[in-house]
Amino acid sequence: MASPWGNGSGDGGKGGGPRNPWGSPSDGPSGGRGKSGASSLEELFKKGNGGGGFRGGIPKRPGGRPWWPILLIGFVILWVLLSSIHRISPQERGVVTFFGSYSRTMQPGLHMSLPTPFEQVTKLDVEEIRTIDIPSGESEKLILTGDQNIVDLAYSARWNIKSPELFLFRIADQEETISEVAESAMREAVANFTLDEAIGSQRSDIEQQVAEKMQTLLDEYGAGVLIRGIAIKKADPPAAVNDAFKEVSAAQQTAQTYLNEARAYAQQLTAQAQGESAAFDKVYEEYRQAPRVTKRRMYYETMERVLSQVDKTIIEADGVTPYLPLPEIKKRAQAASNQAVEAK
């Protein structure tokens, strides 16, 4: 079988096979080679300029001096500029470390430092308000109240960085630490309130107590964190007893409504009795000063009140002008008018 490079032995010296791509120009049709063999790529790079070849390596400067010292100096200058000049924004602070140890804190503006790795600068946004939601997702966070009930709470803690150097070096896993402190403070605060207070009117008091307790604990830890506020987003009984709790709440509201109505009626009767008592005391004072006059006036007033509600019959006597029954006449006239209307 003929060689793929055409060694000239399999075709009777006719040169019928493919030629060696690396063969020298001196190879003849018979497949013969010169004494020095084929020229390689390496020989091309070794040829001088006179032979028209390529000279390998980095070109040299005039005078035969190399370029690498200038390139090295340029790289060092660029490295120093990029790692030594720092622009700190108004909302940022730059924490400088010297070989990993805290050195100083840069305020807003343009600052210089030693190049890396001698000094490194970590920029922190101290004005950004960060938020941690507890619990994360849709899970329940069950907390025991002061009256031995359980409430499902969902709340968030808002905070920002107060001291950058303390925030970086005093505590590890800052957000996880703040979350655990918030949960501890919430459980302590809710334990001071009943279930009705926790889900109702005292939620703002709970939020204030939690924020104050968190700030105290984080200051003791040296966390460098400022608590901006706590917001309770959900305060409900556990889902398993939520329906029963709603029924109990409705019954309690109905009972409270009846109690309010009873108190209002009692207050009305009390006010009426107090008014009657004050009127009696006034009449008694007048009676004590003039018994006969007061007694007669009371008699007249009583008879007037009684007789105004009944029909009266006047018996005629000698020497007395007869009584004209005007009320009876008025009644008869009204009855006659009604009958006429019905007849029509």
Q: Where are the domains of the chain?
A: 71-125, 130-237, 248-302
What pLDDT shows up at residue 38? 44
Band (pLDDT 50/70/90 cuts) for residue 11 is very low
Higher pLDDT, 343 or 313: 343
Between CA 196 and CA 147 the distance in angstroms is 9
What pLDDT shows up at residue 317? 64
Please compute the mean of the pLDDT values over residues 20-42 and round it to a whole number: 46
In percent, how much of the chain has pLDDT > 90?
A: 41
Please compute the mean of the pLDDT values over residues 10-28 and round it to a whole number: 47
pLDDT beyond 80 at 275: yes
pLDDT beyond 80 at 288: yes
Q: What residue has token string 């968030």?
A: 156
Between CA 71 and CA 65 the distance in angstroms is 13
pLDDT beyond 60 at 302: yes
Please compute the mean of the pLDDT values over residues 103-120 and round it to a whole number: 91
User: Candidates 2.70.150.10, 3.40.1280.10, 3.40.50.1820, 3.30.479.30; correct CATH number of 130-237?
Assistant: 3.30.479.30
Between CA 40 and CA 138 the distance in angstroms is 72
pLDDT beyond 60 at 32: no
Higher pLDDT, 139 or 132: 132
Higher pLDDT, 201 or 87: 87
DSSP type of residue 19: P
User: How far is residue 30 CA from its own chain's centroid?
Assistant: 90
What pLDDT shows up at residue 303? 87
What pLDDT shows up at residue 60? 65
Tokens of 31: 């497949």
Distances (CA, A) of 129 to 126, 159, 193, 207: 8, 6, 29, 18
What pLDDT shows up at residue 189? 95
39 class by beta-carbon count within 10 Å (0-12 exposed, 13-18 middle, 19+ buried) = middle
Mean pLDDT of the chain: 80
Least confident of 79-83, 104-108, 124-128: 79-83
User: How far is residue 260 CA from its own chain's centroid?
Assistant: 39
Contact 232, 175 (CB under 8 A): no
Contact 68, 62 (CB under 8 A): no
Between CA 340 and CA 336 the distance in angstroms is 6
Positions of E strands within 34-91: 85-88
Cis-peptide into 135, omega within 30 deg: yes
Higher pLDDT, 53 or 217: 217
151-170, pLDDT tens digit by residue? 999 999 999 999 999 999 99
Between CA 297 and CA 319 the distance in angstroms is 28
Q: Indicate the helix (H) or strand (E) that contains 106.
A: strand 101-106
Band (pLDDT 50/70/90 cuts) for residue 178 is very high
Instruction: State pTM to two decimals.
Output: 0.54
Band (pLDDT 50/70/90 cuts) for residue 194 is very high
pLDDT beyond 60 at 300: yes
Residue 185: CB atoms within 10 A of its CB come to: 24
